[in-house]
Amino acid sequence: MSTKEFRVNEKIRVKEVRLIEGEGEQRVVPIMEALQLARDQNLDLVEVAPNSVPPVCKIMDFGKFKFDQEKKLRETKKGQKVVQLKEVRMQPKIEKHDLEFKVKHIQEFLEGGDKIKVTIRFRGREMAHPELGRKVLDRVLEILEGVYLMESTPKMEGRFMSMVITPKAKK
């Protein structure tokens, strides 16, 4: 039995189907006649709408149909931009040059269209002074002025203070 031939289930539940042929013509035919028409054309009989009465079937090359569907899916994915969440970690006692260096990386990520989570990590006695971490985050925002949109404001989460920024929409 070749791959194009059909195995007909002995317990066929429907007697007739609405058949859609190659040019879009519709007609109600017995199921066995629809199968024979598909075999004669060396194509497949595919059930398109199983819940309608009678069920709707179409004569087509099922392998080609599946290939075309996958091709369309690949085309739609090709146009999509996947936004990543990048994280940049700092400490409240960061030096000026180190801060500028990290902000330069943040700018590059924003230009690439990524979201950035800027995190300040507090260690030991630094936990007693969260205002130092807030000053660092404010300094980052000051340097990045006009390049970002604030998605979430700075907030403490355990030993970390973090905020999320996204790039501004391009016109």
Which among 130, 152, 132, 150 is positioned nearest to 141, based on CA atoms? 150
* Beta carbons within 8 Å of 129's beta carbon, 6+ residues apart: 92
Domain 16-65: top CATH class: alpha beta
Domain ranges of the chain: 16-65, 85-167
CATH 3.40.50.2300 fits 85-167, yes or no: no
What pLDDT shows up at residue 6?
41
The arithmetic mean of pLDDT across residues 112-116, rounded, is 89
Confirm whether pTM is higher than 0.85: no
Write the pLDDT tens digit of every residue in 100-109: 999 999 999 9
pLDDT-based confidence at residue 41 (cuts at 50, 70, 90): confident
16-65 and 85-167 in the same fold:
no
